[in-house]
Amino acid sequence: MKKIIDPWGAGLPEDYERIVKDFGLEPYRNDLPEENRLMRRGIVFAGRDIAAIAGAIKKKKPFYVLSGIMPSGEKIHLGNKMVVENIAYFQKMGGKAYILVADLEAASARGISLEEAKKRALNFHIPAYVALGLDPKKTTFYFQSENKKVIHMAYEFAKKITLNEFEAIYGSADPGRILSAITQVGDILYPQLEKPMPGVIPVGVDQDPHIRLTRDVVRRTQSKYKFVLPSSLYHKYTPSLKGGLKMSKSEQGSYIELPEDPKSACKKIQRALTGGRKTLEEQKRLGAEIEKDMVFELMKQHLVEDDAELQRIHDDYKGGRMSSGELKALACEKMTDFLEDFKSRLDKARKNIEELNFVKFS
């Protein structure tokens, strides 16, 4: 039986290659120009219709990049950081960015009022995205609840999907999930109302069902809308510091939040699973089992920008010239620098929130 990957489930893919094959994804093969760190290092591993975006970039044609904010908490995580880094990359490549605040979904799925969702988005989530590298001058923001065009499209698109089709994509057909998913289809296609053009959605692979549903809707509404099939780009999960595939809020000490006190983050790093040997003598003689090391993976995904520097760390650690304690100390130093810089940028972004470009709906 084929495993269902869904945006709400706790289940995780055990093997990324199998996920690519089972769900008909395209492996990412360095398709985009001037790749960022995530693309160069294989952290971006798959997508849909990547060539359409690569072509738009190379030919300097219009395209957009879109992502949503779920304002359900007062903190975000390193997975959000990867999404923002990819959005920033596409902005740099000429894409117009759209950030929607999913306040309707927060209300229906999390019980958060529209007023509270708006407050959280303005006070924390949007400034956090700016602090992580989103260019606010090249970004259009809107709240789901205020965008009547998205809601209108959602009602229209609902007539194009059967219950059986929804269950086949998502694994269940809970009314709240149906409403949420179809609204997100409207969000994904909203930038094309002005003019049909390619668009890319950079997300975790658990969001692929939304992309599949949207592409089905585009095919079924061609006679009216002439929408272009949206593309997607998927990044791997940031592993749990304790060795699981994904950092999980349910597992204490397995994940690093944003913002977080650097001392707290360093304690988690010190307790993280490593590939270092049992004794220093063994480590010097055999070197680390680097493929098992969560601290090195953290540095690879988030903390070391320079490829040559990462290669030196890899070679020293794997070659026995660096101990796991030394690797953790280096990771702690880099994480401290990152968290302090993030906090400073967050404070600055909060002061400039009124300068952002929010869509005004009549």
Q: Is 222 in the same domain as 273?
A: no
pLDDT digits (tens, 9 = 90+) for 235-272: 998 888 987 666 556 567 778 999 999 999 999 999 99
Q: Are residues 30 and 111 in the same domain?
A: yes
Are residues 165 and 302 located together in one domain of the fold? no
Rounded to whole angstroms, the Cα distance separating 128 from 258 reads 8
Q: Are residues 263 and 226 in the same domain?
A: no
Residue 244 resides in a domain: no
The amino acid at residue 112 is: I
Which pair of structure tokens corresponds to residue 237?
A: 């999960």
Cα gap 338→335, rounded to integer Å: 5
Q: Are residues 227 and 269 in the same domain?
A: no
Identify whether 354 is part of a domain.
Answer: no
Sign of CA dihedral 44, 46, 48, 52: positive
The answer to whether the CB of 93 falls within 8 A of the CB of 65 is no
The structural domain count of the chain equals 2
Q: Report DSSP state, residue 23.
A: T
Is the same domain home to 99 and 194? yes
189 lies in some domain: yes
Residue-wise pLDDT for 124-170, tens only, equals 999 999 999 999 999 999 999 999 999 999 999 999 998 898 888 88
The answer on 195 and 50 residing in a single domain is yes
**Which of 237, 267, 298 is the C-terminal boundary of a domain?**
237
Q: Answer whether residue 11 is part of any domain.
A: no
Q: E strands, 169-321, where? A: 199-204, 231-235, 257-258
Given 209, 237, 265, the domain boundary residue is 237
For residues 156 and 270, membership in a common domain is answered with no
Share of the chain above pLDDT 90, in %: 71
Q: Whole-angstrom Cα distance, residue 25 to residue 28?
A: 9
Question: What is the residue range of 262's domain?
Answer: 257-346
Domain check: are 226 and 267 in the same one?
Answer: no
Mean pLDDT of 272-297: 90
In a domain, 242, yes or no: no
Cα dist. 245→46, 303, 345 in Å?
17, 18, 30
Q: If you search the block for the tokens 């999907």, which residue do you land on?
A: 161
Residue 145 placed within a domain = yes
- Give the pLDDT mean for 32-59: 96
What's the average model confidence in pLDDT over 315-344?
A: 96
| SS3 state of residue 178 | helix
C-alpha 142: how far from chain center? 19
**Looking at residues 105-127, what average pLDDT do you find?**
93
pLDDT of residue 245: 62
Q: CB within 8 A of 239, min separation 6: which ones? A: 245, 246, 247, 294, 297, 298
If asked whether residues 131 and 194 sit together in one domain, one would say: yes
Alpha carbon distances (Å) from 153 to 145, 156, 194, 274, 341: 13, 5, 14, 49, 41
Q: What is the pLDDT of residue 254?
A: 79
- Tell me the two tokens of residue 78: 């390193």
